[in-house]
Amino acid sequence: GAGVSQSPRYKVAKRGQDVALRCDPISGHVSLFWYQQALGQGPEFLTYFQNEAQLDKSGLPSDRFFAERPEGSVSTLKIQRTQQEDSAVYLCASSPSAVLKNIQYFGAGTRLSVL
């Protein structure tokens, strides 16, 4: 596709449910990032992949958060046993190379609401 695609656009979950958020990066992009954006805040880094390797997961807030990119393209962010504080917009970004990983193209995000 022409840009970074994220699905679903909106997700409502009951507290305690597991959710999976999908990111389709721009074709051929090596680097992929996940961010969490709380209401009224800037995005906060969660994790970074270079191809299928998760090189940095220091931003994941707890062990309930898990991200994967098994074939180096599509990535999934999974949140287990969701809690109200997980409510946020989750943004995905991709970048054409590891060297140019600071040039990021963002998706429109998934808005997660935990009730």
Does the footprint of other proteins cover residue 107 (CB under 8 A)?
Answer: yes
**Residues within window 27-86 making contact with other proteins, judged by CB under 8 A:** 33, 35, 40-45, 48, 55-56, 58-59
In whole angstroms, give the CA distance from residue 22 to residue 42.
21
Contact 21, 4 (CB under 8 A): no
Q: What is the full DSSP assignment across 33-73?
A: EEEEE-TTS--EEEEEEETTEEEE-TT--STTEEEE-TTSS
Instruction: Tell the smallest beta-carbon distance from residue 6 to other proteins (Å).
Output: 10
Instruction: Tell the smallest beta-carbon distance from residue 16 to other proteins (Å).
Output: 27
What does the per-residue mask of binding to other proteins show for 17-36, with x meaning CB under 8 A? ----------------x-x-
Residue 29 or 101 with smaller CB distance to other proteins: 101
In whole angstroms, give the CA distance from residue 49 to residue 54.
4
End-to-end CA distance of the chain: 33
List of residues contacting other proteins (CB under 8 A)? 33, 35, 40-45, 48, 55-56, 58-59, 89, 91, 93, 101-109, 111
